[in-house]
Chains A and B, each alone.
Chain A
Amino acid sequence: MKFSKLIASGIFLLSFVFLASCEKKEDKAGESKAASYPRNQTLYLSGSQWGDPNTFNPLVEPWLVAWPANDRFNIMYEPLTAYNSLTGATEPVLGTLISQDVDKVVVDIQPEAKWSDGVPVTSTDVKFIYELGKEFPQAPTNYVGEFVSEIKVDTVDGKERLSFMVNKAGRNNPLVILDQLQAIRIVPAHIFGKYLEENNRDFDAVKKIKCDKDPVVSGPYTLVHYNNERIVLVRRDDYWGNKVLHDGALPVPKYIIHPIYKNNDHFAINLQKGALDASMNYIPRINDKKKDGVSTWYDSPPYFVPGSMHFLYLNNTKAPLNDKNFRRAMAAAIDYTAISRRALSSYTPEMKPGLIMSGGLEKKYYNEEEVNKHSVPLGDKEYAKKVLKDAGYKPFFDEKGSLKYTLGPKGDTLPTLLIKSPSGWSDWEAIVNLVVNQLREVGIDVREGFVDGSQYWPNLPSGEFDIIMRKPPVAVTASLPWNRFNATMSSRNWRPVGDGNSMNENEGRYNNPKATDYNKRVDQLLDLIPLIANEDSLKAAYTELNNIFLDDQPVIPVCHLPEEYYQFSTKAWTGWPTEKNPFAPPQLPWVGSGINTLWRLKPVE
């Protein structure tokens, strides 16, 4: 008895001492770090890291990797080129785009480009990451082979010239190769090649390396410290690009800190306090925060530059959604202005029908006359009712005017269609609430179907939904609006609805290639557009495809939102790009050519 008590108290005491010592260490580290980040040299950006940072290994699946080694961020690992979403230009980073045609995309590697350990960046590094999928099917760049058949290397004027040959037998799509120049970040082959050798070419073993201690990078910043609350990057004063790309200037902030917030409200509070300099998440009523020094690209609605469309994907295989009249009635019945104003704080411009945006870089493909000819009038409830009536649908309302049920053309009662959306996504929830009310008014029996994320994501590729809220993973890149059409209409990988039958585009199963009414022109145009160089032919092809879209309405675009929200505070840093000073696109200075902002910021003393 006595003995066990002694042991117990001993353990208790020990654990206490252990905890206390941990606390002390943590405190010390935190203290010294905090003291060494002066506000006028530190830029606070957030919105890209929500969970605890686990690994900074760029070879791991992007959704498991911490900022900024994941996704498209180019401040540590750089891509060959960066896309400027404002001008449409492909700007040089590790490489310079020389030419592009239907056979190949040609890029010169910057001869001055160097890794942080002094080794030059060469074609070996590029080939390493591009061809990784050949040996290791689980590599994050495993899809490249479908597009690039071969990378040819020549030397021209002392520069290495890379020719990315279009895989004619594969996807035959030079547009996507152009996208990949920005999407694929080059990693040091001499480091990761060594890791592979050390681990007997076991890729999964290499993925376990965290790459968080003195990583070898080519970009202007590198990782210095991280914990569960923040990730800290420090400027690399010997960054090769300062001389080559920025006339010898250094990026202004010495540190970039990404604080990790758990809650959307923290962003708004910290932006208003001036503790956060810019963020990329949705904050409602941004206009009310102007008085606290929070700004956006435009001073008035829509505040942000539209870049992506959010959709209602419709299950085209299920009655009554397989009837295009029914789908067209839905598109007409929705009040898009109400969605913009009530659900999205007016962050979207006036809604135009179709898959081509009427402003920005896509404007040159937008044919207003044709759009008006083929589209239903948006937000016209009477028109929607008429379309339904003409197609044989009979809605029945109770005395209060709320919908009881609707009979289909064959006299059958139509099922209640559920609009799936992840619960807790407040902007989408508001959109769905509004759409349900508006559609029920004209006699379309729909209901909210808010589901847990664990139900939302698997049901999307397998097509197990009636209607689902969806933002296709279409980045603002050189391939717009082709990739938007591809994401909503392509039946290249058509599979029937059901578990295990994934489709990663056209999840609503539009245009079944085996059906009698298969419209092969859609897939033809989708294959053709990436190969067209002549702008007039391109516009004609886009118009034809958009007309088919408007006639068939396989999905319903509900709003045009920015690809990435961009709101900044001028309390600690000024000189952000805006509509009036558009030296960089409306992006946080960590992706694409938005990174140029880092050289233009000015600290407020």
Chain B
Amino acid sequence: MLKLLKNLIKEPMFVIGVFLFLTTVFAGLLGPSLYTPQPRSEFGYEAPLAPRGIEVDLSKNTITHWVVHRGDTLYAKETIKKDSLGNMLNNTALAKYWIGTDNLGQDYVALLLRGLQNSLYVGLLAGVIATTIGTLVGLFAGFKGGIIDDILNMFTNLFIVIPSFVVLVLVSTSFPQGRSLTLIAVLIGFTTWPWTARSVRAQAASLRGRDHISLARINGASNLQIIFKHILPYLASYVFMVFIMQVASGILSESAISMIGLGPLGEGATSLGVILNTAKNQSAITDGLWWGIFPAAIVITVIVFALYLLNNSMEGVFNPRLRK
């Protein structure tokens, strides 16, 4: 085990993948509680606001920034002489929209952090569900063989033939009210397991005839004991890699159905896909409001890319045939 880990750490792809993934996980987990969102911009005419921090104009010795006057709710863009900055800080707070605001004047950084958290939650939950179902079905089918294999296989193939995205869309539309993040995750989990089942089945079937399995059987081990004690450990690394891919596809699926407006609804149900959907509905693409689209798209790309890197590098280490 330790040796495997050492081998993994030698892989630069793995290190980069872990680094990126952990960064996003930390940002998602801790970000929303650590980062205080900038107050809503009251600059209605200009919402959505382009990203701005403090603009310093050295030639005029001025600083332009967003000001929040304490006590009342006036926010304004103010240009002041640099030397009076100290005075001003005493009665105002600076509002810095690092990635701008959405059409309702909400700080995009806060939205992205919250969305990241929710997308990770959906991805992980969907991944756990899909991997669990897929692995169990695959193990039983592969180990038992015969009629059980046939039935489970038929079932799996049935699910593969039905396009999962269409099922996802249809089921989502039938829950118009109360589509929570958990519901979306469960839906994704229940529609994406078949490929896992198939590949696990193939692996389990190849183990079925091995000597140690026959020995266990002679010793009177039950089917369940054999499956969980003698087959699953052999496949653990494989199942783990499958799990990573399921998480990635869960995040992508969530973004996709949210993007077409069938994502989670309700309070705090912002996900990266929902951010993209809102931006799209508000004509961000046509009007060239890039900060509505790109940050969320980049965050999705980074997570999924990190997960793919992890998966690829692990395969290189775990699979004896690919081992260098």
Which residues of A are in contact with B by a Cβ distance under 8 Å?
264-265, 268-269, 283-285, 288, 301, 337-338, 340-343, 346, 418, 423-424, 426, 429-430, 433-434, 447-452, 454-455
Say whether B265 contacts A285, CB under 8 Å: no
Say whether B285 contacts A265, CB under 8 Å: yes
Whether a CB of chain A sits under 8 angstroms from the CB of B170 is no
Query: Which B-chain residue is minimally distant from A344 (CB atoms)?
Result: B44
Say whether B177 contacts A341, CB under 8 Å: no
Q: Which of B173, B176, B267, B282 contacts A426 (CB 8 A)?
A: B282
Q: A337-B44, A455-B176 are in contact. List 11 more A-B contacts (CB 8 A).
A: A284-B282, A285-B283, A285-B287, A338-B42, A341-B47, A342-B47, A424-B261, A424-B281, A434-B104, A448-B265, A451-B177
Distance (whole angstroms) from the CB of A257 to the closest CB of chain B: 22
Say whether A342 contacts B105, CB under 8 Å: yes
A285 CA to B103 CA in the complex, in Å?
10
Instruction: Name the A residues within 8 Å of B281 (CB-CB).
Output: 424, 426, 429
A337 CA to B73 CA in the complex, in Å?
14
Within 8 A of A (CB), among B272-321: 278, 281-283, 285-287
- A–B complex contacts, Cβ < 8 Å, 9 sampled: A264-B283, A268-B283, A285-B287, A338-B42, A341-B44, A346-B44, A423-B261, A426-B282, A452-B173
Distance (whole angstroms) from the CB of B114 to the closest CB of chain A: 14
Query: Which B-chain residue is minimally distant from A346 (CB atoms)?
Result: B45
Query: Which A-chain residue is minimally distant from B288 (CB atoms)?
Result: A288
A284 CA to B177 CA in the complex, in Å?
27
Q: Which of B45, B105, B261, B286 contacts A268 (CB 8 A)?
A: B286
Which residues of B are in contact with A by a Cβ distance under 8 Å?
42, 44-45, 47, 103-105, 173, 176-177, 261, 265-267, 278, 281-283, 285-287
Distance (whole angstroms) from the CB of B101 to the closest CB of chain A: 10
Say whether A283 contacts B283, CB under 8 Å: yes
Q: Which of A268, A288, A343 contacts B104 (CB 8 A)?
A: A343
A27 CA to B47 CA in the complex, in Å?
45
A301 CA to B46 CA in the complex, in Å?
13
Say whether A447 contacts B266, CB under 8 Å: yes
Instruction: Name the A residues within 8 Å of B45 (CB-CB).
Output: 301, 341, 346
Q: A430-B104, A433-B104, A455-B176 are in contact. Are A450 and B286 (CB under 8 A)?
A: no
Say whether B44 contacts A268, CB under 8 Å: no
Instruction: Name the A residues within 8 Å of B266 (CB-CB).
Output: 447-448
A284 CA to B42 CA in the complex, in Å?
18
Say whether A342 contacts B103, CB under 8 Å: yes
Q: Which of A340, A447, A451, A455 contacts B44 (CB 8 A)?
A: A340
Instruction: Name the A residues within 8 Å of B286 (CB-CB).
Output: 265, 268-269
Instruction: Name the B residues within 8 Å of A434 (CB-CB).
Output: 104
Distance (whole angstroms) from the CB of A36 to the closest CB of chain B: 31
Instruction: Name the A residues within 8 Å of B104 (CB-CB).
Output: 342-343, 430, 433-434
A338 CA to B283 CA in the complex, in Å?
20
Distance (whole angstroms) from the CB of A269 to the closest CB of chain B: 6
Instruction: Name the A residues within 8 Å of B173 (CB-CB).
Output: 452
A135 CA to B261 CA in the complex, in Å?
46
Instruction: Name the B residues within 8 Å of A426 (CB-CB).
Output: 278, 281-282
A434 CA to B42 CA in the complex, in Å?
12
Instruction: Name the A residues within 8 Å of B282 (CB-CB).
Output: 284, 426, 430
A447 CA to B267 CA in the complex, in Å?
8
Instruction: Name the B residues within 8 Å of A424 (CB-CB).
Output: 261, 281
Instruction: Name the B residues within 8 Å of A284 (CB-CB).
Output: 103, 282-283, 287
Q: Which of B44, B176, B261, B267 contacts A342 (CB 8 A)?
A: B44
Instruction: Name the B residues within 8 Å of A451 (CB-CB).
Output: 176-177
Distance (whole angstroms) from the CB of B179 to the closest CB of chain A: 9
Query: Which B-chain residue is minimally distant from A272 (CB atoms)?
Result: B286
Instruction: Name the A residues within 8 Å of B278 (CB-CB).
Output: 426
Instruction: Name the B residues within 8 Å of A455 (CB-CB).
Output: 176-177
Say whether A288 contacts B44, CB under 8 Å: no
Say whether B177 contacts A449, CB under 8 Å: yes
A542 CA to B45 CA in the complex, in Å?
35
Distance (whole angstroms) from the CB of A345 to the closest CB of chain B: 8
A449 CA to B266 CA in the complex, in Å?
7
Query: Which B-chain residue is minimally distant from A450 (CB atoms)?
Result: B265
Q: Which of B103, B176, B267 contacts A423 (CB 8 A)?
A: B176
Instruction: Name the B residues within 8 Å of A283 (CB-CB).
Output: 283
Q: Which of B177, B261, B267 has the most CB of A within 10 A?
A: B177
A451 CA to B287 CA in the complex, in Å?
27
Distance (whole angstroms) from the CB of B55 to the closest CB of chain A: 21
Say whether A268 contacts B287, CB under 8 Å: yes
Instruction: Name the A residues within 8 Å of B261 (CB-CB).
Output: 423-424
For the complex of A and B, 10 pairs with smallest distance between CB atoms: A341-B44, A426-B281, A452-B176, A265-B286, A451-B176, A268-B286, A342-B44, A424-B261, A342-B104, A284-B283
A328 CA to B145 CA in the complex, in Å?
70
Distance (whole angstroms) from the CB of B323 to the closest CB of chain A: 49
Distance (whole angstroms) from the CB of A38 to the closest CB of chain B: 28
Distance (whole angstroms) from the CB of A65 to the closest CB of chain B: 27
Q: Which of A285, A346, A450 has the most CB of B within 10 A?
A: A285
Instruction: Name the A residues within 8 Å of B103 (CB-CB).
Output: 284, 342-343, 430
